[in-house]
């Protein structure tokens, strides 16, 4: 039996518990996390010009 990734387990949880409203919440949290990580790198000046 192959191990599932975190995202695979999360999708299975959403299917079983029928809590689909959590999907957009986690997507927004993930995007904010990516922005925080990129904000600390050399890509930061390019991100700030977008906003």
Q: What is the pLDDT of residues 13-49, one digit of tens each?
A: 888 888 888 888 888 998 998 888 777 767 667 777 7
List the structure tokens of 40. Answer: 């600390």
Is the Cβ–Cβ distance between 10 and 26 less than 8 Å?
A: yes
Assess whether pLDDT exceeds 60 at residue 1: no
Helix axes 22-39, 6-17, angle to 10 degrees: 150
The pLDDT-based confidence of 12 (bands split at 50, 70, 90) is confident
What pLDDT does 45 receive? 72
CA 8, 12, 14, 15 torsion-angle sign:
positive
What pLDDT does 29 receive? 92
């Amino acid at each position: 039996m192959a191990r599932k990734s975190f995202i695979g387990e999360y999708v299975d949880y959403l299917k079983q518990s029928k809590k689909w409203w959590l999907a957009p919440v986690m997507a927004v949290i993930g995007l904010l996390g990516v922005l925080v990580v990129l904000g600390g790198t050399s890509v930061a000046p390019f991100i700030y010009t977008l906003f």
